Amino acid sequence: MEEINPISTGFFTSGSNIWNNDYGSLPYEGYSVIEMASMRVLTPPWRGCVVSMAMDCLDCQYLQEVIEEGDPTYVAMILSEIKDYLHQLMKHQFGNYLIQKIFEAKKGITNIQIDSIVYLIICDTHKLIDVCKNNHGTRVMQIMLENMKCPVTKYAVLYTMKPIIDELMKNINGGYVIVQCVKVFPPTLKKVILDELAKYCVEIATHKIGCSVLQTCLKDSVILAMGLITSIISNAMLLAEDCYGNYVVQFVIKMKFSLVNERMIAELCGKFVRLSMNKHASNVVEDLMRCSNQDDVNAIVEELIRSTDFLNVIQDPYGNYVAQRALKCTKGYLRRKLSFTIRSYHIELQNHPHGKIVLDNAKSSKR
């Protein structure tokens, strides 16, 4: 049988037994076992037709039933016929269900056989990318990730996926695969993914699809994602003003980790006037006021009040919302100071479409 060397980075040596554990030796060596087992029984009528049957709706359902019944010999026959067509079947509207069923099988298939399939799927990076981006392939990949048991196989999958993470994160289907990795991998492997995301933080966060997938990854692994969060904070100014990146910054702020928000405010210090008058970043400033400690809120408001452009902020289509939020989030002396400062611009604001609203709020909040 032709040797396969699925990973070029040196983790695996084709044809050699470098692991001996409960899962056996190199998974793809199990195919010799598959072939031998398939010769010990009478040939079923579907022998030699599995691939074409998998691409037919009714015939594929029949093959799934064969897998479900769990006869090891018949399962081995099916595996021996599809092993060279895995990527094609994973992307097929009917064939993908057969591959899903194989990964979900509860009997008749060994861990070695499952790992063999996994290695054949990940051995071609270009085909792997196509599968992950495909409407059907992404679902098979998620089922595969969920049902892998061998720690070494998980490690192999991770380091095959690592160089293509940024590309997959910017695709709706590919993103689902990365999210699944974050969900099902153990903490040590999960952190590798999150650290890789940190490297491409700006590129992913400013992408229409990537910004959403990034938030999902953060949601599932906040504690392990501190490297990613640090990268977001370091690029907060750029991200806050971006039409997609601002959502990632807002997500981090809304986690309400006081130290994180404190660092975010320190990163943006001196720029709150500019941010307040930006369509996207004004939402970030409002969230910082809503979700931060009072001392940090006060620091933002003090910066706005001291600015010679504060009147422009109040009159701005976006800045006026920041001013209104400041009135709601300040207390005591600072609120009175803010209210007084706004009311001092009475003449400029009383007939202004945006400023009038802020002025009315300042009058009502007078203490």
| 10: alpha, beta or left? (left if phi > 0; alpha if psi -120 to 50) | left
Give the tens place of pLDDT for each residue, 313-349: 999 999 999 999 999 999 999 999 999 999 999 999 9
pLDDT digits (tens, 9 = 90+) for 13-51: 333 332 334 434 444 445 554 455 544 557 888 898 999
Average pLDDT per block of 10 residues along the chain, 367 residues long: 38 35 43 50 84 97 96 95 97 98 95 96 98 98 96 96 97 98 95 96 98 94 91 98 98 96 98 98 98 97 97 98 97 95 95 94 75
128 token code pair: 């792997």
Prediction pTM value: 0.85
Q: Token match 């056996």: residue?
A: 24
In 242-263, which positions are buried (b, 16+ CB within 10 angstroms) versus exposed (e)? bebbbbbbbbbbeeebeebbeb
Burial of 40: CB neighbours in 10 Å, binned 0-12, 13-18, 19+? exposed
